[in-house]
Each structure stands twice: as structure tokens, then as C-alpha cells.
């Protein structure tokens, strides 16, 4: 099943110059970038993106996430591929970086824990956001990209990756 998913390389990934290395991992497994841009999120945009966090985890966590997303530019991408949502989430690793296994993006490049973040009254800096479901992906893609910013094209890998 072909899917699209939103991926955000958060300000810590951009500031640490990890964007190229992270993007390469997605391309290496055959995911296709159909939209990508560097964005400085407004407060309103960041709040809309993290609205579910406020509902699930409370106003303090929402505020921390919104502030963090505004610390610098983010690389917003739409990736397309076979079961892209599940694949990307597996590649990204656990939200709590210290629990992410080696070989995942968070496991290789990040190591903060919830306990450390809570003790220091900060958001956990975990480099990346990836849509968690098809419904979330549709909403998030529409929030970050217009249809005109998404492109259909054939990659050289499609014959091998997608069987086309």
C-alpha cells in the first residue's frame, strides 16, 4: 500500500547539521521525497501542529513543544512509499531518545530521556517528527504543504522498490 507521511527535521537536527544524513537514510530504503522545504514555524502554526499534544499531555508539554519548534528552522518533508508511515516510524525510533535502539535515527543521534527533560523543565530534543497514522499524515501534510508543493515523478529506484 502506497502512503504519504510527513517528516519534520526539528530545529535540533538542523542546528546540528544532521539533515543530509537523516534524509539519506530515507532515500536509501527507497522512500521518495515528493515535497521538501525549510520553514520557520510561526507560533500559530506550531500550536496547530501540536494541538493533540495539548489534549493528551497538557498545556505545559504543549507550550514546551511549540517553543521548541520555533527555536529555528525545520525541514518539512513529505515522503512516499510502500507503508511509508510504519517504515518511517520504525526508522525514527522511540520518542524518548534514550529508549530508541541503535540503528534508528534517534538511537544514533540523540540520547535525552524524559527524566532529564522533566528535571530541566525542557522538551525532549529528539530531532524528528513523523506522522503516526494515516489520519495524522493527511492532516499534517495539509498543514505544512499545499497540493502545488507536492510532486509526482518517477525515481530510478521505483522499478526495484515498488515493482513499477
pLDDT band at 61 (very low <50, low <70, confident <90, very high): confident
Residue 53, pLDDT score: 81
Report whether pLDDT(33) > 80.
yes
Residue 129 is a catalytic residue: yes
All three cell numbers of 34: 515528493
Residue 83 and residue 3 in contact, taking contact as beta carbons nearer than 8 Å:
yes
Region 74-82: mean pLDDT is 97
How many structural domains comprise the chain? 1
> Looking at 45, 49, 111, 129, which residue is catalytic?
129
- Which three-class secondary structure state does DSSP give residue 104? strand
Q: At what angle do helices 84-92 and 19-28 cross, to 10 degrees?
A: 130
The span from the CA of 31 to the CA of 22, in Å, is: 12
User: For residue 160, is it within any domain?
Assistant: no
55: domain CATH number?
3.30.70.141
User: For residue 156, is it within any domain?
Assistant: no
Q: What is the pLDDT of residues 125-134, one digit of tens each?
A: 999 999 999 9
Our measurement of the distance from residue 64's CA atom to the centroid of its chain's CA atoms, rounded to an integer in Å, reads 17
Report whether pLDDT(29) > 70.
yes
Write down the pTM of the prediction.
0.93
Residue 140, pLDDT score: 98
Amino acid at each position: 500500500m502506497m502512503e504519504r507521511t510527513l517528516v519534520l527535521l526539528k530545529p535540533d537536527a538542523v542546528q546540528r547539521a544532521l539533515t543530509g544524513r537523516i534524509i539519506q537514510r530515507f532515500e536509501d530504503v527507497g522512500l521518495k521525497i515528493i515535497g521538501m522545504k525549510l520553514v520557520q514555524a510561526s507560533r500559530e502554526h506550531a500550536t496547530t501542529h501540536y494541538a493533540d499534544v495539548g489534549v493528551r499531555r497538557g498545556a505545559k508539554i504543549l507550550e514546551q513543544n511549540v517553543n521548541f519548534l520555533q527555536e529555528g528552522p525545520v525541514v518539512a518533508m513529505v515522503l512516499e512509499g510502500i507503508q511509508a508511515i510504519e517504515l518511517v516510524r520504525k526508522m525514527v525510533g522511540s520518542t524518548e531518545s534514550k529508549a530508541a535502539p541503535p540503528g534508528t535515527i534517534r538511537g544514533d543521534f540523540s540520547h535525552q530521556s524524559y527524566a532529564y527533560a522533566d528535571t530541566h523543565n525542557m522538551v525532549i530534543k529528539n530531532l524528528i517528527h513523523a506522522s503516526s497514522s494515516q489520519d495524522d499524515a493527511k492532516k499534517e501534510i495539509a498543514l505544512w504543504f499545499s497540493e502545488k508543493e507536492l510532486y509526482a515523478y518517477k525515481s530510478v529506484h521505483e522499478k526495484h522498490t515498488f515493482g513499477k
